[in-house]
Structures are given as structure tokens and as C-alpha cells.
């Protein structure tokens, strides 16, 4: 199945009936004795995660706990069947699986920085705005690829992004084996059994389970806010009900401290109540690339500068003329490349 741009479309492993056939199709089988486990790096109810070595490079190994239920086994290998279909610099790369011997294992590239939310908390205040936007841009690029092959993530959050060398960010945590525990404050039990991380999920997905790449864009907006806030919890200590109620009522997260307003405007576009009005990941990627190419746009001095410089508006008709009078025509050029209005056409309010 190939789309117009030649990318192999994502195939849901459940189409294969037998999960073992799916994983044999999408993942290379590795002999257990070729994997050297070095240290534990995490774990949940169903699996433990280790740092290890395989084929001469550092890897991460997720090992299914012995005695897991058949469903836990199916969910475990479905994650590998999903991950094995992806190939992109900003999506975690599967190396292979151990399924013919027990315990079963999933082997991926090692991401030394760990999850983005904990990385940001550790780095609080130590990263520049440009570095933060570079990380967000990586997530947008990975999501543009996943949405292009029609994969809907459903749980995009900073905790499910991994940080590698040079702070490269990669989308992770696929499949049904979500470690959203009963006691996990982010999981809200939904009638049809699925668990939904309320504060990251678009209103239409909460209300009637309408998940789409547009609901992934909403979640991406929350990830941008988490990143610019160095890992702050979205909506702080509000209850899930308060979040749903206030967001439905139009409330949106505010500009994080020291976050340029132009970055908050990207978040606000991702949180449009109407999912058809939200930007696609391709457009978000272009807007972030424009910001990275013109870092001066990240300084909000355009606002503080105007308060410092008085101009006689009565003689000026458009913002373009005003910028010219301040020898700041470059801003107009930058705004146009960033996909905003040509300010020479925007008249001044008298």
C-alpha cells in the first residue's frame, strides 16, 4: 500500500489476525544470546527496560515479564509490529525482537537522554529558546512522517518522546501496551475500555473517541507547551474534570514564562476547537523551520521596542510604513516568510 508520495502506508497489525505473523512480517528476529543486558533503566507492570548491547552498539531492551497474560503478550509484540514499519530520524528505531524464546524482548536504539518530560525538568532554565524549538521541530518532523503514512498516535505527550544524542527528539510509545496504569493520574477510564490521557487529548477525541491526525496535532500543542515550560504539568493540579470543563468552555493554556508569543500562537492554532481548522504537521514544521531560520523573530522586542519608540502615527498609514520609519523593514520580510500577513498592507489604527 503506497500513498502518492511513495511512503508505504501503515498497516494495523490486527489485520494479520495472528500477532505472531505480523511481528514476523515487520520485525527481524534476534537470537537472545546475541543481546547483552547491562543495566535497568525503567519498567512497568508488564515489562522491564534495560540498557544493553547488540551488534556492536548500545541498545534499549524491553523484556516482557514472565507469566504475563496472553493479551499482554499480544499487546507487547503489537508495539514491535507497529514500530517495525517506521523509518524516520525522529521516530524510535526498532532493531529487532526475541519471540521464539522466552522471555520475549523488543530491541531498539538507545536514547541516552531518556523521556523528554524528565529531561526538561533536569535541564530547567539551562536550554535556550532556540534549543527548545529545535527539539519541538524534531517531534513535528516525526509526526509529519507518521501522519503521512496514516498512523494516528493517540498518546502524544512529552513522556512519550525520547531524547537522544545532541538532544535529538524521537516519537516513541506505540501500540496498545500502554503503561497507563489504573493509578496513573493521566489515564481517565472511558466507557469502551480505552484509557485516555485527558489533559493531552483533543475535545472531540474525549467526547466521542474521534481520534485523527488532527487530534494528534492538539496533543502536539500540549507537548510544545510542556517543552517551553521545561516539563511543567499541563493544567497544573487541576482535576481531569476541571480540565475538560474549562477547555470546553474555551480556556487555553497561557504563554509559558520567557516563551515568545509567536510560539504560543502555534500552540493556540493546534488547540482550535474545530479540528478541521488546526494546522497539519507539515505546516507546523514549516512555521518552526522559519522561526529557527530567523531567530530574531523569537525576541518579543517588537512589542517592547514599540513602547520605547514613539512614532507620529498621523503621518503613517500602514504598519509597513511604520516599520520603515523605524528601519525595521526586515521584520516585515520575516513576517511574510513565516506565512503571516504582509504588514505593508495592514493599516494602522488611528
Ligand X SMILES: Cc1ccc(-c2c(C)sc(NC(=O)CCCC(=O)O)c2C(N)=O)cc1C
* Shortest Å, Cβ 169 to ligand X: 12
Q: Mark the segment that binds ligand X (CB under 6 A) among 28-36, 59-67, 258-266, 282-290.
A: 59-67
Among residues 54 and 200, whose Cβ is nearest to ligand X?
54
172 is an interface residue for ligand X by CB under 6 A:
yes
CB 204 within 8 A of CB 248: no
Grid coordinates standing for 322? 511604520
Q: What are the residues whose beta carbons fall under 8 Å from the beta carbon of 41, sequence distance 6 or more?
A: 49, 50, 51, 60, 114
- Angle of helix 213-228 relative to helix 261-270, nearest 10 degrees? 150
Among residues 83 and 285, whose Cβ is nearest to ligand X?
83
Among residues 42 and 203, whose Cβ is nearest to ligand X?
42
176 is an interface residue for ligand X by CB under 6 A:
no
* Shortest Å, Cβ 106 to ligand X: 5
Residue 40 CB coordination number (10 Å): 11
The binder of ligand X chosen from 35, 61, 104, 169 (CB under 6 A): 61
Over the window 91 to 130, marking each residue x when it contacts ligand X by CB under 6 A and - when it does not, the resulting string is -x-------------x-x-xxx-x----------------
The binder of ligand X chosen from 41, 72, 176, 333 (CB under 6 A): 41
42 is an interface residue for ligand X by CB under 6 A:
yes
Return d(Cα 213, Cα 67) in angstroms, integer. Answer: 36
Q: Mark the segment that binds ligand X (CB under 6 A) among 3-11, 54-62, 313-321, 335-343.
A: 54-62
Among residues 38 and 248, whose Cβ is nearest to ligand X?
38
51 is an interface residue for ligand X by CB under 6 A:
yes
Catalytic residue list: 155
- Angle of helix 281-293 relative to helix 213-228, nearest 10 degrees? 30
3-state DSSP assignment of residue 34: helix
The binder of ligand X chosen from 23, 35, 62, 229 (CB under 6 A): 62
Q: Among 209, 224, 204, 207, which residue's Cα sits nearest to residue 275? A: 204
Q: Angle 292-111-214 (CA atoms, 0-180°, nearest 5)?
A: 55
Amino acid at each position: 500500500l503506497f500513498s502518492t508520495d511513495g511512503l508505504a502506508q501503515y498497516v494495523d497489525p490486527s489485520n494479520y489476525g495472528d500477532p505472531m505473523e505480523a511481528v514476523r512480517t515487520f520485525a527481524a528476529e534476534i537470537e537472545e544470546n546475541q543481546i547483552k543486558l547491562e543495566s535497568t533503566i525503567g519498567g512497568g507492570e508488564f515489562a522491564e527496560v534495560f540498557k544493553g548491547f547488540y551488534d556492536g552498539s548500545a541498545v534499549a531492551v524491553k523484556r516482557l515479564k514472565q507469566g504475563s497474560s496472553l493479551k499482554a503478550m499480544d499487546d507487547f509484540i503489537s508495539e514491535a509490529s507497529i514500530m517495525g514499519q517506521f523509518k524516520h530520524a525522529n521516530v524510535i528505531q526498532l532493531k529487532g525482537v526475541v519471540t521464539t524464546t522466552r522471555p520475549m524482548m523488543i530491541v531498539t536504539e538507545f536514547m541516552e537522554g531518556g523521556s523528554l518530560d524528565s529531561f526538561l525538568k533536569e535541564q530547567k532554565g539551562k536550554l535556550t529558546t532556540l534549543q527548545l524549538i529545535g527539539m519541538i521541530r524534531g517531534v513535528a518532523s516525526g509526526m509529519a512522517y507518521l501522519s503521512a503514512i496514516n498512523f494516528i498516535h493517540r498518546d502524544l505527550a512529552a513522556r512519550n518522546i525520547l531524547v537522544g544524542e545532541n538532544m535529538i527528539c524521537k516519537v516513541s510509545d506505540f501500540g496498545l501496551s500502554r503503561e497507563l496504569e489504573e493509578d496513573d493520574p493521566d489515564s481517565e477510564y472511558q466507557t469502551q475500555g480505552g484509557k485516555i490521557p485527558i489533559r493531552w487529548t483533543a475535545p472531540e477525541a474525549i467526547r466521542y473517541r474521534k481520534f485523527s491526525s488532527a487530534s494528534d496535532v492538539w496533543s502536539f500543542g500540549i507537548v510544545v507547551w510542556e517543552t517551553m515550560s521545561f516539563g511543567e504539568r499541563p493544567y497544573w493540579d487541576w482535576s481531569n474534570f476541571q480540565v475538560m470543563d474549562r477547555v470546553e468552555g474555551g480556556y487555553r493554556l497561557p504563554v509559558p514564562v520567557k516563551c515568545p508569543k509567536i510560539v504560543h500562537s502555534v500552540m493556540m492554532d493546534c488547540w482550535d476547537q474545530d479540528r478541521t481548522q488546526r494546522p497539519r504537521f507539515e505546516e507546523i514544521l514549516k512555521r518552526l523551520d522559519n522561526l529557527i531560520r530567523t531567530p530574531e523573530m523569537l525576541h518579543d522586542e517588537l512589542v517592547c521596542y514599540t513602547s520605547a519608540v514613539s512614532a507620529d502615527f498621523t503621518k503613517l498609514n500602514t504598519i509597513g510604513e511604520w516599520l520603515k520609519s523605524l528601519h525595521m523593514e526586515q521584520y516585515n520580510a520575516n513576517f511574510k516568510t513565516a506565512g503571516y500577513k504582509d504588514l505593508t498592507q495592514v493599516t494602522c489604527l488611528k
